Structure 1
Amino acid sequence: MRLSTVILPIHRWSEGQKTWRRAEDLGFHAAYTYDHLSWRTFRDGPWFGALPTLTAAATATERIRLGTLVTSPNFRHPVTLAKELMALDDVSDGRITLGIGAGGNGFDATALGQEPWSPKERADRFGEFVALLDRLLTEEAVTQRGTFYSADEARNIPGCVQRPRLPFAVAATGPRGLKLAARYGQAWVTTGDPKIFDEGTPEQSVAALRGQIEKLGKACAETGRDVDELDKILLTGFTPDRSRPLESLDAFVDFAGRHRDLGFTEIVIHWPIPDSDFAADQAVFEQIATEALAQLG
């Protein structure tokens, strides 16, 4: 099992760079950031762009993997995103993972002035977005006419450092999204079952996650792929026991062990932010970072 962190882009780089360097020093497998224009309780405070932040992080670190968790079509277009990702993969010398999801309503879903998308349109857009992005990052020139996204002689030379392209970590829980993960993903991402976020139990959450992994397995089987080929990433902080895993080293080891037994290969914890939903004791957080995996065995 691997342990990674999410660093929200809320600090000016003069201060924020210290966190990314510290994440590498602590031995995290990867450090991700949200690709939003604003987000929930942080809407009225500082919030910087994900891709420039990751580019800066790539120059400030040497070993740790970097990525989005997650990018969505809400305000991105595959043609411009592909060019930026190719450059970011180059700057980082092949350390980038693209976490990608369908996105949701609220926050930045209508920031470009569009009307809110229906669930069907959002799923339709996501499918077209991922398929075109895959082509753009693996072919030197792409022309494609889609319902929502098109490309006309879009060139991405010399391509990614990672071949055939940088890995996709596809966030999905529904049938269409899971099929995309099975077809295009090198990893699959979940935050759990949002239906039990407020009133569910840890046991219900484990059962829901087990069900999601079973559905992922079926989607992989339908595409002729072995589900074991995909890394399975749990972004913590959104399950019913969301705060408990960071209360102590023992609590985290117990949490991580139960989810490792489900088949998860990577757990992602939020870097502590005081007076927020992600508040946690920094000393305990760092102890988890440096000691938890050894205790898991």
Structure 2
Amino acid sequence: MRLCLSTVILPYRRWHEGGRSAWQRAEELGFHTAYTYDHLSWRSFRDGPWFGAVPTLTAAAVVTERMRLGTLVTSPNFRHPVTLAKELISLDDISGGRVTLGIGAGGTGFDATALGQEPWTPRERADRFGEFVPLLDRLLSEGSVSYSGDHYSAHEARNIPGCVQRPRLPFAVAATGPRGLKLAARHGQAWVTTGDPKLFETGTPAESLGAIRDQIEKLGKACADMGSNSYAMEKILLTGFTPDRQRPLESLDAFVDFAGSHADLGITEIVIHWPIPDSDFAADEKVFERIATEGLAQLH
């Protein structure tokens, strides 16, 4: 069974007051990748401390050596492909080629209006995402790019010497709809899901498993239509947003059961949230660390 375990560390702590130590501890615990959210703020954390994703990952790259680093996820809500590409090749260089870009179309909320724009419709988000991903792909793969589209432009944008990882750093594309899945199939080295949001409040774990199975089947069809092999694509589940959202961190046995049932569907990477007291991501730190060090071994 091919499965790896990763974590997501929210950027809410000052670097010298627990921020740095969390990333270092994540590497000590053996996580495959440590991600962070790429938001300007997020939900219940909006009125508290919150730091930028790329500077945080850059600092994490300096104090770690082996663990991969990434975003879950970056979106067009407040990013432009030209400036983002420059930041990413810098981060990839500083990390020695350990960066994965989780990328999605974005949604409603604070990030969607923080720059003063009107909220985009679902169609407009999809249209922008459809331009954003291919242009970013080119910017990270080519030395000079010019492009003029409906939403984004680039004029002789230089990204020399390019990424350490060739031909560019990997994309993990979050998508469930037809257009997004096509982008994942064409440009993604990995695919990201949080499950079916319609089941978050009233669904059952069994219904959630069925929905993720359907998503993976649709991804496979999109890959087949593009002439690619979906089996070669990593399939990432960000936990905390399925009906049994608290269960994976309740105990080692609960995690093993949860991870095993999703691995059977084809999920290849499980991402668990670093515990945050008094939040939606509160969890017993001892249980969390035991899952990190023993969880995958229990599946084999």
**TM norm structure 1:** 1.00
Aligned-residue Cα RMSD (Å) equals 0.4
Matching of residue 111 in structure 1 with residue 114 in structure 2? yes
CA distance in 1, matches of 2:109, 2:87: 25
**Partner residue, 2:105:** 102
Q: Where do residues 132-151 of structure 1 align in structure 2 (5 Å cutoff)?
A: 132-151=135-154
Letter in 1 for 2:123: K
Q: Which 4+ stretches in 1 moved above 2 angstroms? A: none
Letter in 2 for 1:260: A
- 2:75 counterpart (72, 75, 94): 72
- 1:120 counterpart (112, 119, 123): 123
Query: How far does the alpha carbon of each residue in 1:139-163 deviate from its partner, in whole angstroms, 9 at most, with x for none?
Result: 0000000100000000000000000
**Partner residue, 2:183:** 180
Query: How far does the alpha carbon of each residue in 1:57-97 deviate from its partner, in whole angstroms, 9 at most, with x for none?
Result: 00010000000000000000000000000000000000000
Aligned residue pairs: how many?
Answer: 297
**Partner residue, 1:11:** 13
Q: CA deviation at 1:229?
A: 1.5
Matching of residue 278 in structure 1 with residue 281 in structure 2? yes
Q: Where do residues 153-232 of structure 1 align in structure 2 (5 Å cutoff)?
A: 153-232=156-235
Q: CA deviation at 1:180?
A: 0.3
Q: CA deviation at 1:185?
A: 0.1
Matching of residue 246 in structure 1 with residue 249 in structure 2? yes
CA distance in 2, matches of 1:183, 1:108: 27
Q: Where do residues 36-51 of structure 1 align in structure 2 (5 Å cutoff)?
A: 36-51=39-54
Letter in 1 for 2:215: Q
Q: CA deviation at 1:107?
A: 2.4
CA distance in 2, matches of 1:190, 1:82: 24
Letter in 1 for 2:44: T
- Find the residue that maps to 2:264 and give its secondary structure: helix
Letter in 1 for 2:92: D
5+ residue gaps in structure 1? none
**Partner residue, 2:295:** 292
CA distance in 2, matches of 1:159, 1:42: 35
**TM norm structure 2:** 0.99
